[in-house]
Amino acid sequence: MVRPWRTRHTSSGMPHDIELILTLTGGLTAALALGFVTQKLRLSPIVGYLLAGILVGPFTPGFVANTQFATQFAEIGVILLMFGVGLHFHLKDLLAVRRVAIPGAIIQILAATVLGALVTRWFGWSWSAGLVFGMAISVASTVVLTRVLADHRELHTPSGHIAIGWLIVEDLFTILVLVLLPALAGPTSSAGEGATPAGSAWVTLALALGKLVVLVAFTLVAGQRIIPWFLGYVARTGSRDLFTLSVLVLALGIAVGSAKFFGASMALGAFLAGMVVGQSEFSARAASDALPMRDAFAVLFFVSVGMLFDPAALKDGWPLMLATLGVVLIGKPLAALAVVLAFGRPLKSALAIAIALAQIGEFSFILAALAISLKVMPPEATNALVVASVVSITVNPLLYQSIGPILAWLQRRGLAQPNPPADLQAPPPLDEAAHRFLVVGYGPIGRTLSRILTDNGLQVVVIEMNLETVRRLQSEGQHAIYGDATQREILHHAGVEAARGLIITASGLPAQDIVQAARELNPRIRILTRSTYLQETPGLREAGAHEVFSSEGEIALSMTESVMKQLGASDEHIDRERERVRQDLFPRPPVERP
């Protein structure tokens, strides 16, 4: 006997599955609309996502999304965000700027934490709640910082490297707090009542640290053997769907396992999983395949945060919100500015780093959500954080654009050096990047061209979908990346932004998609590509290719030469006939682009 389907209903009376779809659709639709508007206004889309959450939240009229469902989607977003952070975390990048980034980040975190605690203490919060609130507003948004630096072409300058290293230290510190906070919080409340005895707290902390050490050791030691082997086995199947699914299963599975068996946060487990995958040859492809899912759920995370904001709280809560903004926009930047100047960096670099960090984002909300769930912080903390995030993210690009005028104003008054020392002012050496060529495909054509470029002193980065080829090239000391070149993340990993040229030699690829992606990431790059049919040539040139070599055309030229030789034609006659064929087949000259 077949049992009929039972439709569960939510508290609103609506069927469970329908409200789930409505929440997902409504949240994403509002985020799309407002994200598009903020993007057109040259603001961060994150501002639009937070405003979308306010729009579909329970405190505004109109459509109201289900808060419980939105929170569950947000948890997935946090896991994938943390996986992405771990995927891009490279210890060598941090060590390169350790002398400024590590002490600078620590001092700035301490300054913001103390300021946050003092501000909230003024409003009657407990010291524990104030300290956690200060930690939450001490960390900047990875998304916003990298976007601002990239838009001003300073991501790969000394200032950009220090800011990224600084951010890594902040992220690691926040991850540590996320791990230790449940152990330290105990039954404490936002009012500080019922604190855990000191001895019990230390035992709980020791157990938490012990489990943390076991989790890290198990993930990094066992994971470095098992995860790459597993991903390699899946990659050899040639199925892109299975590989993407494997990446998601690893991220979610290790995150859930870390919470279930080790008592750690799911965020930490996802971060460790990302670190292990990031150190393997699958890092670029994993990033490109998981990126769409990560971005979608990350949007829902910001929407869920916006849903917690009550506009009515502005009436009574504006003093706390204003004070929080003061710490984010004034206190944090001043602390960073003082530290960078103390380490002998030029004023321009110090201003760039300080202003880039003058905002808060995803980690602030992750930490605040955990603290509120543990009753360490009162719920009104969310309103203050949402306002501070929206305002700081909105004004951050505008503040960054003001660095030049500020420097000019200070120089006119003799308060800044007109010309900083050349070794501090110049960007890092670009010898490798300035002579870099990307070669897509390592078949006979790609192999030949790579050899010619290398023999002429140029750096070649090969992008190849054959895993064994990539491993062989890497073992020979050559730069090779495993992944699909149509994905922007893969091209970014290969360094397309600073490359001189891109050569597409592989057949069977959507070359037009690769050309468009490369052109958007680097408008000045020179692109040479092959095509199978002559009819594909106009589309490739329109997409931005400088030279297109069609298999049909090259075969026609070769066969013309062979036939003419068999007929006993002279070299001059053969050249004339080849030119006639070329004019017939290639009527449009290559388009030279700057």
Q: Dig out the tokens for 587 from the structure.
A: 């009527």
Residue extents of the structural domains in the chain = 16-401, 431-585
> What number of residues does the chain have?
594
Q: How far apart are the first and last CA of the chain?
A: 72
Burial of 96 (0-12, 13-18, 19+ CB in 10 A): middle
Residue in the structure block whose two tokens are 């936002």: 190
Contact predicate 131/117, CB 8 Å: yes
What DSSP assignment string belongs to 232-301?
A: HHHHTTT-HHHHHHHHHHHHHHHHHHHHHHH---HHHHHHHHHHHHHTSTTHHHHHHHHHHHHHHHHHHH
User: What is the reported pLDDT for 586?
Assistant: 63
Dist CA 552 CA 532 (whole Å): 6
Q: Which residues of the chain are modeled with pLDDT < 50?
A: 1-7, 9, 187-196, 198, 419-434, 589-594
CATH architecture of 16-401: Up-down Bundle (1.20)
SS3 478: coil
Q: How far apart are CA 243 and CA 223, in angstroms?
A: 17
416/176 Cα distance (integer angstroms): 39
Query: Whole-prediction pTM value?
Result: 0.62
Residue range 364-398, pLDDT digits in tens: 888 888 888 888 898 888 889 888 888 888 888 88
Angle between helices 283-307 and 67-87 (to 10 degrees): 150
Beta-bridge mates of residue 459: 436
C-alpha closest to that of 272 among 288, 254, 285, 256: 254
Helix H or strand E encompassing 462: strand 459-464
Eight-state DSSP code of residue 544: T
CATH placement of domain 431-585: 3.40.50.720
Q: Give the span between the Cα atoms of 565 and 558, in whole angstroms.
A: 11
Task: Compute the distance between CA of residue 138 and CA of residue 134 in angstroms, rounded to an integer.
Answer: 6
